[in-house]
Each structure stands twice: as structure tokens, then as C-alpha cells.
Chains A and B, each alone.
Chain A
Amino acid sequence: MPKMTIDGIEIEVPAGINVLQACELAGKEIPRFCYHERLSVAGNCRMCLVEQEKAPKPIASCAMPVAEGMVIKTDTPLVRKARNGVMEFLLINHPLDCPICDQGGECDLQDQAMAYGRGFSRYAEEKRAVTDKEFGPLVKTVMTRCIQCTRCIRFATEIAGTETLGGVSRGEHLEITTYVEKTLDSELSGNLIDVCPVGALTSKPYAFTARPWELVKTDSIDVADATGTNIRLDTRGREVLRVLPRLNEDVNEEWMADKGRFNVDGLMRQRLDRPYVRVDGKLKPATWTEALDAIAAKLKGLDGKKIAAIAGDLCDAESMFALKEVMTSLGSGNLDCRQDGAAVDPKVRASYLFNTTIAGIEKADAILLIGTNPRWEAPIVNARIRKRYLKGGLKVAAIGPKYDLTYPVDVLGAGADTLGQFANGSHAFAQVLKDAKAPMLIVGMGALARPDGAAILAQAKAVADACGLIKEGWNGFNVLQTAAGRVAGLELGFVPKQGGRDIAGILDGTRKGEIEFVYLLGADEIDPSHFGKAFVVYQGHHGDRGAHRADVVLPGAAYTEKDGTYMNLEGRAQLAMLAIFPPGEAKEDWAILRALSEKLGKPLGYDTLDQLRTKLYQANKRFQRLNAVEPAFWEDFGHMGSMGAGSTDAKPFASPIANYYMTDPISRASATMAECTEAFVSPKKKTGTHG
């Protein structure tokens, strides 16, 4: 570890870091534009200049590796003068449009101009102007503001893996653009807005909406997929205006996927803001009392066997826990949180978790993808795989359709037949897995959420055992969940009780008339025709599929409007905080269930969320250990619970997601997501006007 002196402070720093990082370790802040911890070093803005003893001129600290005995000065007249000069050059061509710039108040250039700017301009000539670029519906460009730091190019090339951004021409004419004005086809494009240090790339949907200092900031968790991305909700009044990622090295680092960032306009549309009861075939507005009475009347004297409950994809743990208890009090064991029928074994944690953990991907050296398109199902997980790929020496193969995953993938076959060759070790890639130090397999809902899912799960387990995916300190068996509420539902046992029906059984029952009452907790992904004549209660926040079929609608809260616990695909419990209140008469979901239980004459044993959580923690301690992942026992797999029997179907695997931008009630209600669908997914893709 080299020793160096920074502003007179002697410090020992890790080898291989650069002078800028060393200065930070010594507690010195270095201004910068182009340098970004997670991107390659460009060293082109020159804002980070510092003085190095014996060097003839100031050095760019971000591009200079540390060395033994270096003497660095970060605050000398020379350094100040150099930075003042850089700042003056940067401002020569930067427009004076801060009053109409969305970056205002959180702009690196603005902040650093306060510290290093001269306060007036000596430049009397004309400034350069640059035509704006069309990057699609999410990223707005005002290219005249660009300072050519190339962070966006490096992000797109390195992290997002979509090499479409570049800098064309040179010198004063340098411009950032996509090749032939293509739009930016990436699920991570919103991060460009965050990496751009100035107002050149800003959020299109959020344009001219608010100033950062007007916003109230609340920590939350993204529910658009099961990654559990840590986010911050920026609200003003009763509206979430934007979503930004929070740092969590174990989960999302500092990135976030576009769906969760940009679907928030969907929270203001098609909301259920009052209860409804179906009268003469039509949903009529009702009061809470009327709605709860209607449910109580229907349930009166109904045998528990004829009652069922289904939890949807966006549910928080607390509300599922409350609903489970209500169902128990009604004597029903028919409950399931797997709307898609995914055949994971609720008794065996290892069978439904991403056991390797997201950060663990960085240790892997061979990955087999089974029936999954991680780029759409969990863009953040996919970005980790790409990060690992960039370090070199990673082999990735897939069974299922060919997707562009931003790293090379060998497609080995289409379906279960190929998987079978792994289990018996006859496939060539099986040897690659066996030889690997840290092999992984990732099985997606495209393989598990089908009638033969249980058999495929069993096969995947057999592959894991046969190819040595489970070793001391390493579990390479991973299930890629897609629903934010799923793991919590499985953990707290929102699954059929002994003798109860699972999702297929419930729907079979409703079709046959054996199930007469179905409680949908935010479950919108089921074709309503399956419900037959059953009495359907829908509790949720959007007027989506479930509410349209319901006989009673109870307006609940979206994830932004309640305190809730979510468990991500690794089994990591995380808290989301209430940022705004639910609209109209809508209420927090656990409270609705508490009120209903009262009406049913079987009140739940808690009156506050804290009391509920105490019970939840008693039932399952893992909900209490926030931001921790508890490894699952592999040995249980195949011994506890039932191991999938039956034969597999030759039908090819396919990702369950046909359109990344619309997968849940919130994103389906979002106008921005509709625009993205139009721009990136639908076949009538806009092409450039020429070329």
C-alpha cells in the first residue's frame, strides 16, 4: 500500500486507485465532471487538477495512479488558478439558461461555478449552439448545454451495453449523438440523466415540473420488478413527481431500471379512489360500510372450502400477512401468491430464491440461463451479469429464445429437452459448469410458470446437483422472480394450506362453481373468464383487470402510499416508506383487511401497523432483519415439500414478458410507458427520416 502525502496529511492508500480517490480518502474534495466511480476514466474535463510535487504542471488527479511517496497539494494558488481557467473555458460555450434548465439546483456545473467561476465572462464572441438529439420518450436533450464529459457515452457502452452513443466530429464541433439519430434502446437509459453532470440530458416526462428544493424525499423500494431496487420518491403535494435510485452496493449499486423510474405517472391515472359494489351487473360507488357489509353478507355461513384468496405481484408483506390471517379465520386454506402458477416449492427457500445473490454474480465464471430474459425481467441483475462479463472469463449459455442480453450468449436449445441433457451430464456445456469455480444457473418464470413447471424445477435442481453448482460457500442455483411481492408471499406462507387449493385449483374451482368467493389482493394478471360465477372482491389501487371483474372493489394504496416491507428476489427484506397519502377514500391495505375482519366478527389481533409487524416478525424473523440475506438450506430441496413429478413438455421456453414497459397495473396506466411501448417495442418502430 503506497504511502503518500496529501495537503500535508500522510496517508496510506490501497494500490491501484487514482490520486482523486486518494484525495477523497484523505478527506479532500476534488471537483470533477468527467470522472465517475463506476465508469472508465476519460480524463477529459481537467477540472480535477491538483499539484504534484516535482511535476512540471498540474496533473489530472482522476487519471493519475497513486505511487509511493507522492506529494499532492489540492489547495494551492496554482491549483485554484488552473481550475478557474478550466471553468472559464467550460463556460465559454455553456449557455446561460440555468433559469429554464431542469438541472438547476442539482447541477455540478452550477455548483462548481459557484466555487471556481470568476463571476463574469470575458468572452464576447458568439457561443456555439448544438442541435438537440432525439433519444426517445424518456431522455430529453439540450445539447448546447453539453460539456463533452463523455460520461453518457461511457455509461451506454460499459454499463448499459448498448453501444449507440458516441461523440462525432472533433474540437469545437464535437457532439454527442446516437448513430444516425437512433433512439436509445436500453432499459437503463434513465441513468444517463443521473450521470450527466449538467442539464444536457434530463428527464423528458419530468421536464419543467419542479425544482429540487420543492420536493419532499422519501426512501422506498421499486416494485416494477423483483430486484428490490432502492429508490427515493420525490414528491410535492399529493403527487410523486420523480423517482431516483438510492445507493445499495448489494442490490442496484447506483442504477435503476426505466420502468420503475418512469411509470410513476401511472400512479395518478385509473386509480380506485372509492369503494364500489356491483348492483344489477354494474359497479356502483358505495361507502366503505356498504362495501364491507356486502362482503360480510356474502361470506356469512359460507364454507371455508368455497373461499379463496389470491395475492398479486405488487403486494407488501404486511397486507398479505393480514389477508392470510383473515383467510385462516374463515377456515379457508385456498390461498396463493403465484398468479402465474410458478412451480416453486414454498417450503424450500432455496427453490425460489436467487441464492447466489445479486452481488454474488460478480464471482461467477459460468452461467446457464433457463427460460429467462434477464434484460427485461430484471435489468439490474442483467447489468450485474454484464459487469461480470466485462471483467473477462465469463461463459454464458442459455436454454430458450435468443435475446440480446448485452453480452454474448450461446443459445444451446429451446426447451426442456436440452435441459435434460444437462441433468444426465451429456451436454457439452455441462462440463463447462462442472469445471467452473463458481457456476450459476438462473431459471426464469418462462420455464417455471407453465403446467410442467414442477418437473422443470426438479430437472433444474438435478442439473445443479449434477454439475456441482452447490459447493462450500457457494450456491449457484437461482430463480429469477419477476414479481416484487412474490418472495414475501412465499416466505410468509401465502400458499395453499394442507389440503388447500393452489392457483390452478382455485381457478378450476371457480370455473366449476366449487369456489364461490375469491378475494383478489391486487391480483390483475389472471384472465377474468376463469372466475366463472364466483363472487370476486378486488382490493387494490388501479382499475385494471381485477377491478373490472369484481363484485366489490376496495380501494387500496399503491407502494408509494403505504409503509410496507418487500422482499426482493434474494430474500432481502427492505422497507418502503409512505411518501404520499392514498387518493380519495382509499386506505392502506392492511387497515382495510383489519376493518373487514371486524365486520366478519373475527377481528385480527392488531390495531396498528407496529402490532401487525410484531406478529409478522414472530411468524418469520427474516422480515425483521432488514437488508440482510439469509442463505437458504440446499439440503431441504427435494426432501421437504413435494418434488415435482411428471414429465416435461417439449414446448420451447419463452420469457413471460412480452413488453418490458407494461407488466403491472401501474405501468399499464402510465402514459410514458405507453410511449415507450410505441417507440421501443411495437413493430412499427420509427426509423430515421433518412438512411
Chain B
Amino acid sequence: MSAAATNDDFVQPTSFAFSEANLAEAKKHIAKYPKGRQASAVMPLLWLAQYQEGWVSRVAMDVIAEMLEMAPIRVYEVATFYTMYNLKPVGKHLVQICRTTPCWLRGSDGLTEMCKKKLGVDLHGTSADGKFTIMEVECLGACVNAPMVQINDDFYEDLTPETLAKVLDELAAGRQPKIGPQVDRLNSAPEGGMTTLKDVAKGAGQ
């Protein structure tokens, strides 16, 4: 299994409780399913727990198991099956580097190398200051602006090792860098502004 989940080099917390807002949200999810089928809500609840704490601790899984009246092992199976659940603590900024073919062809390996060197960690490692955790993930659906990374909820696109390093510096300094393409373009529009459909076609609008 992913060594991450068994070889604990960290302390598992002893308690977990959903915040009031998340508890309300969780109840909404549970209510979506017929009685006796609450277990169907396990994924959104795990996600909520992760959203709240940054990762899913064992006690959080126990709490969820109890809420959904399922055996803890069943929750554990789900949580370990999906790679998007973090089963150990992550840094303040979770840097997920896309490594699927388009990003890879456009140099994602260089991004990973830069992060490893800059932060002094391996994949799945957390920097000494607790600010960054890096990991590689599969396609995040922004291939058109490859290579890209996701940091917490935001996409940073059209990266080079240098521009990504700048983004990390900004974040480390507590500032919010520009989200989206790191080159001069709007979303996935052409670099340097529009190139086509700039003038009205002859005869149009007549």
C-alpha cells in the first residue's frame, strides 16, 4: 500500500469533529441517500474532513464510520483507494504537479525537479517550514495551458521552473500570486492577445 498510509512518521490526532458548517454540509450529503444507504455518503464526507483539516486522519475516518454506521475498515478501504485523499498531514500549500502526457511533454519533469530542489523534499514530502507539500498527480484538465500545477484550490498554468519558483516565493511570503496562466494570456486565449476574428467580416451585419 502507499507507504504513506501505514508507516506513520507523524502523530495521529486523537480527536476529530466536523465544524458546524461542515456538519450541516455533511448532513445534506447523507440526506441524499435513502435510509440504510448512508454509506454512499462516505466520499463527500471524507472530502469535507480533508477540506477542514488538510488531510484525513484515522480518527476522522472513525468518526465518519460512526456517522454512517459502517465498519471503520470500509471507510479505510475507500480512503486508501483514492489518491486524492491525503492520509498524512500536508503543508499549508499542497502543490500538485500534473505529470500526464501533455504536461509532461511541455516540461513537468522540470517543475518537479525545481520544487524538489527548492523545497529540499521528495515527492509527498513537506518542506521543513511546513509550508509546502509536493506531489505528482494525473491530468487536472488544463492541458491546453500545460504544464500546470494545482496549489490548494487554484490552478497555475503555462509554467516554467522559474515562474513556478516565483509563485512559490509569493506564497511563502504570504502574498497571493496571480492565479491562472503565468504568461500573457487570458484563460486559454492565445498568448499576446487575440489573433483572429478581430475585424468584422465583409458583408457581416448588412
Contacts and interface: CB of A to CB of B under 8 A. Distances in A.
Interface string A160-172: 0001111111100
Interface string B31-75: 000000000000000000000000000100000000000011110
B80 interface: yes
A166 B1 contact: no
Interface centre among A157, A168, A175 (most CB of B within 10 A): A168
B1 A173 contact: yes
A144 interface: no
B14 to A, nearest CB: 9
Contact of B72 (A157, A170, A177, A179): A179
B8 A164 contact: no
A173 B2 contact: yes
Nearest to B59: A691
B1 A691 contact: no
Given A163-B73, A179-B73, A179-B76, A168 B58 contact: no
B20 interface: no
Contacts of A157: 71
A168 B80 contact: yes
A500 to B, nearest CB: 54
B5 interface: yes
B71 A164 contact: yes
Interface in B1-35: 1-2, 5-6, 8, 12
Contacts of A691: 8, 12, 58
A131 B7 CA distance: 11
A84 B99 CA distance: 35
A175 B73 contact: no
B77 interface: yes
Contact of A169 (B58, B71, B73, B80): B80
Contacts of B71: 157, 163-164, 166, 179
A180 interface: yes
A168 B8 contact: no
A691 B88 CA distance: 13
Contact of A167 (B5, B58, B77): B77
Given A163-B73, A167-B77, A178-B73, A690 B8 contact: yes
A123 B6 CA distance: 28
A169 B2 contact: yes
Given A170-B81, A690-B12, A163 B74 contact: yes
Interface string A516-540: 0000000000000000000000000
Given A163-B73, A178-B73, A168 B1 contact: yes
A168 B12 contact: no
A165 B81 CA distance: 15
Contacts of A164: 71, 73
A522 B8 CA distance: 52
Of the candidates B58, B74, B81, the one having the most CB atoms from chain A within 10 angstroms of its own CB is B81
Nearest to B70: A163
Contacts of B80: 168-170
Interface of B is mostly: helix
A173 B80 CA distance: 10
Interface string A168-201: 1110011101111000000000000000000000
Interface string A533-549: 00000000000000000
- Range for the number of chain A residues in contact with chain B: 10 to 19
A164 B65 CA distance: 13
Contacts of A690: 8, 12
B5 A166 contact: no
Interface in B67-102: 71-74, 76-77, 80-81
Nearest to A167: B77
Contacts of A170: 80-81
Interface centre among B2, B73, B76 (most CB of A within 10 A): B73
Given A690-B12, A691-B12, A169 B74 contact: no
Contacts of A173: 1-2
B113 to A, nearest CB: 25
A691 B10 CA distance: 11
Nearest to B71: A163
Contact of B5 (A163, A169, A174): A169
Contacts of B6: 131
Contacts of B76: 166, 168, 179-180
Interface in A128-148: 131
Q: Which of B1, B71, B72 has the most CB of A within 10 A?
A: B1
A177 B1 CA distance: 10
A157 B73 CA distance: 11
Contacts of A166: 71, 73-74, 76-77
A166 B72 CA distance: 10
B58 A180 contact: yes
Contacts of B12: 690-691
Interface string B140-154: 000000000000000
A314 B80 CA distance: 48
B68 to A, nearest CB: 13
A177 B76 CA distance: 10
Interface string A579-623: 000000000000000000000000000000000000000000000
Contacts of B5: 168-169
Contacts of B77: 166-168
A394 to B, nearest CB: 16
Nearest to B80: A168
A277 to B, nearest CB: 58
B1 A175 contact: yes
B4 to A, nearest CB: 10
Nearest to A169: B1
Contacts of B2: 169, 173
A23 to B, nearest CB: 32
A175 B77 CA distance: 10
A174 B80 CA distance: 9
Interface in A355-394: none
Contacts of A175: 1
A168 B81 CA distance: 6
B166 to A, nearest CB: 36
Nearest to A175: B1
Nearest to B11: A690
B46 to A, nearest CB: 14
Most central of A131, A179, A691 by chain B CB within 10 Å: A179
Given A169-B5, A691-B8, 19 more contacts: A157-B71, A163-B71, A163-B74, A166-B77, A168-B80, A169-B80, A169-B81, A170-B80, A170-B81, A173-B2, A174-B1, A175-B1, A177-B1, A179-B71, A179-B76, A180-B72, A180-B76, A691-B12, A691-B58
Interface of A: 131, 157, 163-170, 173-175, 177-180, 690-691
14 contacts: A131-B6, A157-B71, A166-B76, A166-B77, A167-B77, A168-B80, A169-B1, A170-B80, A170-B81, A179-B72, A180-B58, A180-B72, A691-B8, A691-B12
Interface of B: 1-2, 5-6, 8, 12, 58, 71-74, 76-77, 80-81
